[in-house]
Structure 1
């Protein structure tokens, strides 16, 4: 069983989201995709949607299809997902196998996807930041509704005790 582990934290040392994706893939055969080290993802997406080369889109989609399971690390930056993760998802959506014109929700039907969402802040329902974590609903919508995957959510919040701003990488 092959697991595609996708990390997007800009931090390598001390990253809670990377630690969580490592924990979720321990003991499994892993193919690792580190989006934080890939340069030009946004440019590749722009090129692909503008009718240019879709080579990277195809390569990334092939990786997703080849895996039996996905584990996606998503630190919450500025109340949403990192730019690299957004560009990766955009490149997947460009591939017609993942976003067929006939409808949504079938390309990865039943494929297990574990979302490892980590935030330095907490977003409890009665707290001052309730409803501000836009990463979770966005990722659920893409993986469950657009791709049709079987999504499991793993959330760790409050990983930074005294952050001066929500811009602390996790």
Structure 2
């Protein structure tokens, strides 16, 4: 079994989304220590920001006329699509930034679509755990209700385009303890963190014991 892990946080060791992914992997590898884990960290090692447009134009250029940059971009797109296609399961830690997916994630998705084709179900019926985190709160009645343009976009791509069997684990208020304006939510944030960590651990067990 090959598990593909994708991280996108720019927070390094302080990343809340990566910490949840670690929790999933801890449980998964404890039960299945010999399985292959392929990792790509989009935040620590960003994909070239111009790779997508270069690959798009390269795809419309006769192979013999492609520039070295187009050849390289198309090869990168194929590699990214193949990582998804070759995986048996996925753990994707993709936090919300500026009310949506980060540029790192968007580039990754765009390149995968170029490399695999717009109709390719690269994750067809494969179990994928999506771990997403938000600094504030975006639920019903909150001032930022409706501002989360991350989750539904990722569902559209992962499920409707790529065909994944998706489990979503969310954690809000990750900026509590960082932003003093949120200090009144300390207890709520601690509860949400605990719930997310438990859900991540359960997801790791579920991946490992899936038939």
TM-score, with normalisation over the residues of structure 2? 0.70
Which of 114, 119, 122 in structure 2 is aligned with 1:94? 114
More strand by share: 1
Q: How many residues align?
A: 160
SS in 2 for 1:141: helix
> Tell me, which stretches of 5 or more residues in structure 2 are unaligned?
30-34, 59-69, 182-211
SS in 2 for 1:154: strand
For the aligned residue pairs, the C-alpha RMSD in angstroms reads 1.8
SS in 2 for 1:114: strand
| 1:16 matched residue in structure 2 | 16
Larger Rg: 2
| 1:168 matched residue in structure 2 | none
More helix by share: 2
Q: Provide, for residues 55-79 of structure 1, a one-character-per-residue CA deviation record: whole Å limited to 9, x for no partner.
A: 0011111111121111111111101
Contact 2:21 2:131 in 1 (8 A): yes
Q: Following TM superposition, by how much is the alpha carbon of 1:107 offset from its aligned partner in structure 2, in angstroms? A: 3.8
Contact 1:49 1:94 in 2 (8 A): yes
Which of 120, 126, 129 in structure 1 is aligned with 2:144? 129
Q: Write the distance in 2 (CA, Å) between the matches of 1:17 and 1:24.
A: 11
> Tell me, which stretches of 5 or more residues in structure 1 are unaligned?
166-170
